[in-house]
A and B are shown apart, each in its own frame.
Chain A
Amino acid sequence: MKIWDNLIEDIGKLIPEDVECEIKMINSTESLTRFANSHIHQNVEEELTDIFLTFHADGKTTNLNLNITSMGSIEDIIKKALSEIGNNPKDSTWPGLTSKENSFNGYKDISPDDPDIRAQKVKEFIEQGQTYNGAGYCSSNVSNVFVWNTNGLNSSDTATSAFLDGIFRSETSAGSSHIGNKILSDIDAQKVGQEAFSITKESQNPEDIDPGVYEVILGPDAVSTILVFLSVYGFNAKSKVDGTSPIEINVEQFDEKINLEDDPHKKGALNFKIDASGAPKKKIEIITNGIPKTFFHTRRTANELNQSNTFHEMFGWGDSFGGLGTNLYLKPGDISKEEMISNVKKGIYINEFWYCRVLDPITQVVTGLNRNGSYLIENGKVTKPVGRLRFTQSFMSSLGQGNVLGVGSDSRFADSEFGEGILNVPMLHLKEFNFTGGVSG
């Protein structure tokens, strides 16, 4: 890409020999068409080119983040950074730069989608809702990332993604569905709309049930929320460094049916094949037969914990966040949704969680609510829709040994509290889940 080539050519000439420098660039076009009350009300596109510079000299480090317009003279930027760096204390955990041999060229010149295509997908979704009130979004993104450093590394990659996420609302209910794909035209808007419509219709006139411990079947978006919380607060090695992670490597902490891997090379994976250090990512087992196998590492956390780097540094996030897997796949089982329901004596089907927050990171006790489709299941059959419930439940225990009764056979990209496209998951059947409040508090 011309902007990138010019940038590294100019900077490469101006960096003093005794200074280590790393440059990252994110160049993306993010487009999102939003609808509510069954019409498009917001339609946006942003084209950005952000530059992230890190300088390390005399044992000290400084970071400078700019966009291409605010950069001005490259010479001035380097002078400014190097004059400021002297004010900083020594960086005792500086992990060094990625070596030249890790260079990876994955850049592709891809144009953004036309807004008319997103509008058409929205139209097809809304038409499935008949008289119900539709709301949601259709997005499409093209993102290019680049990393260069004074070791001679020069890496790049391109990722595309498209999502359709929507709900329908009746007077007394709501139902949601979600789909993700690399290519907007491959999104089946009618299928997503039909699913949201069915859930809305079947969820009408919900009844309140007493809080308590119930068997649950969790839809993909609810499963995704549990796993993303465990990823950010548990498998993120920064949380281990900080002493707040409950994860113990090679200890049987989860049910043996839980198998989670991070695989950027899987067909259809939506996120980058390099991390923000510029190194190529590999397929990595995160949980195997219920046993945690590794944390998500950055260069710094790998050094601090004296473990192998897994190359999970995030573009656009600082060292204080840590690492995160972004191409996560929970291995499907062999049970269909119908079979799963038939296996429940008394339990609740939860389509989606809402507003989950951690009460204590080390126990992973989380509170949150259900929404957009919940049903009571009795003696293997869905008997009635249920209203709002508040849960207060350890997410570690929810996937703990003996608590996972079944894993669904179909999986899909799911939404989560930390964004979409990170996790591809099936449904789960859990033995116990603790609901602590109903609609009256």
Chain B
Amino acid sequence: MFNEINKSIDAAISSGAQYADARILISKSRDISSKDGELEDFSNSENMGLGIRALVGSSWGFYATYDLSDESLKEAGKKAYLIAKASSKVPGKDFPLADVPIVKDEYVTPHKQNPFKVSTTDQIDLIVSSTHEMKKIGSSRAFGRLNFWDTEKWFASSQGHEIYQNIIESGGGISSLSIGDGETQIRSYPQSFGEYRTGGWEVIQSFKFLDHVERISEESKRLLTSPQCPEGTRDLILEGSQLALQIHESVGHAIELDRILGWEAAYAGTSHLELSKLNEHKYGSPLMNIVADATLPGALATFKYDDEGTPAQRVDIVKEGIWKGVLTGRDSAAIAGVSPGGMVRADGYGRLPMVRMTNVGLLPGDSSLDEIISSTDDGVYMETNRSWSIDDLRLNFQFGCEVGWLVKNGKITDMVKNPTYTGITPNFWGSMDMLAGEDEWIFWGTPNCGKGQPSQIGHTGHPASPARFKNVRIGVRG
């Protein structure tokens, strides 16, 4: 396959590109969805193609094609060059690419059972029986979903990289929807939109959906008759998956160097962070230690090399509350004068690789959820995300959760519905005063991170354990 890729790369370089790299991908995916004990959708997908990018001056030109004939591969290289060259009508400053090791290597995601070799009957039975049970118990609607990806990619560059990787990802989830008088309430497991990791069928087996159908069905029904989450300023305790999304939105996107440099300004936005304040800016409390770690076994954004051929690595992002690092690519790292962190990936062969979160997670503390609750006099414990919104500087956010629990004098008392909280990023993280430990630290995965134009969907990981935040505005309603 590398011979094929190099035909494209050679064509781009001989046309005049200063650098070129390309990937051939064979991507398989399987989507299984169920509603109310019926199979709603069963789809297998497979596609194959090449994407090549060529650097001319200050601009990338990218061309992708499904046609892998010799003639087409060479034409793709030339087109990538011509597209980049067209950009010279509106040029920026030329930039070098940051140096990375030139590697020839192979990697396969560690897994026990390739999900595409497991009986589809077993997969369908598991998710259909889960929704059947919830419907039987009394959910107005019961939803379930399984997704699997098996991606083979061959990456080569004009500098001599030749890397083969086979990334296997699995995930899914179940939800119970209860419909009341002019309202709906939902409970999901393991988290909203499901939980996703690298690995095989064993990932799904570990979720034990059927052990949770009764709880989430009963909770969604009970929410209909529960009181509204009270408005006010009080302590907020976040369950791990909600904290994972909080990290994703208010830290993960904010530390993307392409955003900080303004490359995403018109669409996804920029960042409240200024590079001149790296190593000085107070991001949060001393309990806040965030790392971007693409080497965590089993986490969703774990690989050996990114889509520029840079080795996966662990990078400090926030240390004891102080901002220490950014997410980079070879181009942005060179411009900003920082090390390339192996954080560039593309959504399939047809998209330009761009800066993407790896496993951006909050390192565990030394407390526990039980300790946090028992030491809280007046607060709300919120579980499982229901809505999320944040401004384009990643400062002003508002999240809604599926369920809230009032905490009074160290004990959980009442269930409350429609819990929301709002805040400003550094103030919020600065108020974190308790953090659960390694026993409750889970590698939460987000399979639906949108970024870029044309739009790309990224898979990111966010290890987190429950935490407490002081004096948060809670219970905002329309």
Contact = CB atoms under 8 A, between A and B. Distances in A.
Interface string A58-88: 0001111111111000000000000010011
A243 to B, nearest CB: 5
A43 B59 contact: yes
Contacts of B86: 33, 40, 43, 114-116, 118-119
A441 B389 contact: no
A43 B61 contact: yes
B101 interface: no
Contacts of B107: none
A371 B184 contact: no
21 contacts: A36-B264, A37-B92, A39-B58, A46-B51, A46-B64, A47-B67, A65-B43, A67-B66, A68-B66, A70-B26, A89-B39, A89-B128, A114-B86, A116-B89, A135-B265, A319-B41, A355-B389, A362-B184, A390-B422, A392-B476, A436-B477
Interface size class of A (residues with CB under 8 A): 35 or more
The 3 tightest CB contacts between A and B, nearest first, are A39-B92, A115-B86, A392-B478
Given A359-B478, A360-B184, A46 B396 contact: no
A252 to B, nearest CB: 17
Given A243-B140, A367-B389, A33 B266 contact: no
Interface of B: 26, 31, 33, 35, 38-49, 51, 58-68, 79, 82-84, 86-87, 89-92, 119-121, 124, 128, 140-141, 177, 179, 182-184, 261-267, 269, 350-352, 386-392, 396, 398, 400, 418, 420, 422-424, 427, 453-455, 473, 476-478
A2 interface: no
Interface stretch (A165-173, A179-187, A254-262, A326-334): A165-173
Contacts of A356: 389
Contacts of A64: 43-45
A320 B266 contact: no
Contact of B38 (A68, A89, A137, A371): A89
Contacts of B261: 36-37
B441 to A, nearest CB: 27
B423 A441 contact: yes
A41 interface: yes
Interface stretch (A120-128, A154-162, A218-226): A120-128
A354 interface: yes
B87 A119 contact: yes
Contact of B454 (A30, A41, A434): A30
Nearest to A27: B66
Contacts of A61: 42
A195 to B, nearest CB: 14
Contact of B87 (A43, A89, A388): A43
Contacts, number: 274
Q: Which of B263, B424, B455 has the most CB of A within 10 A?
A: B263
Contacts of A441: 396, 422-424, 427, 473
B478 A369 contact: no
Interface in A115-163: 115-116, 118-120, 122-123, 126, 133, 135-137, 139
A32 interface: yes
B183 A40 contact: no
Given A357-B388, A390-B422, A392-B476, A119 B263 contact: no
B266 A36 contact: yes
Given A137-B453, A354-B392, A441-B396, A63 B48 contact: no
B40 A45 contact: no
B43 A40 contact: no
Contacts of B179: 243-244, 362
Contacts of B392: 354-355, 369, 371
Given A34-B453, A65-B45, A135-B262, A361 B427 contact: no
A355 B40 contact: no
A122 B45 contact: no
Contacts of A374: none
B68 A69 contact: yes
Contacts of B84: 43
A84 B120 contact: yes
B39 A88 contact: yes
A166 B90 CA distance: 15
Given A39-B58, A70-B47, A166-B266, A363 B41 contact: no
Contacts of A39: 58-59, 87, 90-92
B46 A40 contact: no
Interface in A351-382: 354-363, 365-369, 371
Contact of A169 (B265, B391, B454): B265
Contacts of A358: 387
B124 A318 contact: no
A312 to B, nearest CB: 17
Contacts of A206: none
A350 to B, nearest CB: 14
Contacts of A123: 89-90
A111 to B, nearest CB: 13
Given A43-B84, A64-B44, A135-B265, A87 B120 contact: yes
Given A357-B389, A441-B427, A40 B89 contact: yes
Contact of B44 (A37, A63, A136, A368): A63
A355 B44 CA distance: 32
Nearest to A394: B478
Contacts of B140: 243
A176 interface: yes
Given A40-B87, A356-B389, A49 B66 contact: yes
Nearest to B122: A87
B60 A41 contact: yes
Given A115-B82, A115-B83, A441-B422, A361 B266 contact: no
Contacts of A394: 478
A390 B398 contact: yes
A81 to B, nearest CB: 8
A63 B39 CA distance: 12
A45 B64 contact: yes
A63 B40 CA distance: 11
A318 B43 contact: yes
Given A169-B265, A388-B391, A70 B46 contact: yes
Q: Which of A70, A439, A440 has the most CB of B within 10 A?
A: A70
Given A242-B177, A357-B388, A359-B386, A48 B350 contact: yes
Given A38-B92, A119-B87, 7 more contacts: A46-B65, A64-B43, A65-B43, A69-B67, A91-B39, A362-B182, A366-B478
Given A91-B39, A169-B265, A361 B398 contact: no
A379 to B, nearest CB: 28
A392 B265 contact: no
Given A43-B59, A244-B177, A320-B40, A367 B391 contact: no
A68 B62 CA distance: 21
A188 interface: no
A352 to B, nearest CB: 10
Contact of B90 (A89, A119, A169): A119
Nearest to B29: A65
B350 A89 contact: no
A68 B83 CA distance: 24
A115 to B, nearest CB: 4
A304 to B, nearest CB: 11
A318 B31 contact: yes
Contact of A84 (B44, B46, B61, B91): B44
Contacts of B128: 89
Contacts of A393: 478
A355 B43 contact: no
A136 B266 contact: yes
Given A45-B79, A359-B400, A318 B454 contact: no
